[in-house]
Amino acid sequence: MTADIPDAYLARQFPWALIVDLPDANSYLQYPDSRIWPITKVRVNLRTYENKNSDAYQNTCYETFWYHYHLPTGLRRYSEITLAEQSRGAIVVCPGYGTANPLQRPLAITDAVVRLLADVTLRRASVVIVLVPQDDYECIAEGLHEFHFFPQIPGQPIAGLGLLLRAYPAGSEGRFYLQKQ
């Protein structure tokens, strides 16, 4: 995976992980008077780990999202995925800087993470942790507020969907919960 999060670690901890990366799309749809440039491409692959003692995995290209700033502009699903009910996995965001606008990257990641969290939950599985690069952590944590995910307020009961957001290499961490406004 990366030097910071090796596949051996993921295989020991989870039967599956959704790997999110942002390939370079700097010149995609960049032409005079383009109304949807700059655009960010977010690719999602499912890695399933067969054995906790090995870093071997099976990779399935799942879907690609397209964003113009924070607005979703497209989705292409390449295959259906199957997650075992009650299984627990991770969402891992790869480091990279292939967007035309550095402000787009965390906005696109945040939207994709929330969509994937809902997708996994509807499949009756759960996301244990969302791992993001340290450089993106603060912007993603702030972006979760747009989707009504807030840190737990001491003394209030936890009700609803939640996620653990952790920066790597070893950095910031926070628990966020979906709250009604």
Q: Which of 119, 174, 117 is nearest to 150 (CA)?
A: 174
Confidence of residue 123 (pLDDT cuts 50, 70, 90): very high
pLDDT tens-digit map of 90-100? 999 988 755 54
For range 40-51, the mean pLDDT: 89
- Averaged pLDDT of the chain: 84
As given in the structure block, the two tokens for residue 91 are 């969402």
The domains of the chain are located at 7-178
Percent of the chain residues past pLDDT 70, beyond the cut:
88
pLDDT tens-digit map of 131-147? 998 888 999 999 999 98
Give residue 159's pLDDT: 66
Please, where are the H alpha helices in 72-133? 104-122
As given in the structure block, the two tokens for residue 124 are 């009756």
For range 79-90, the mean pLDDT: 91
Give residue 5's pLDDT: 66
Q: Which pTM value belongs to this model?
A: 0.88
* Residue 111, SS3 per DSSP: helix
By the 8 A CB rule, do 28 and 39 touch?
yes
Question: What is the rounded CA–CA span in Å between residue 32 and residue 94?
Answer: 31
Chain-centroid distance, C-alpha 1: 15
In this predicted structure, the answer to whether residue 152 has a pLDDT above a threshold of 80 is: no
CB contact set of 121 (below 8 Å; sequence gap of 6+): 127, 161
Cα torsion 144, 145, 149, 150: sign: positive
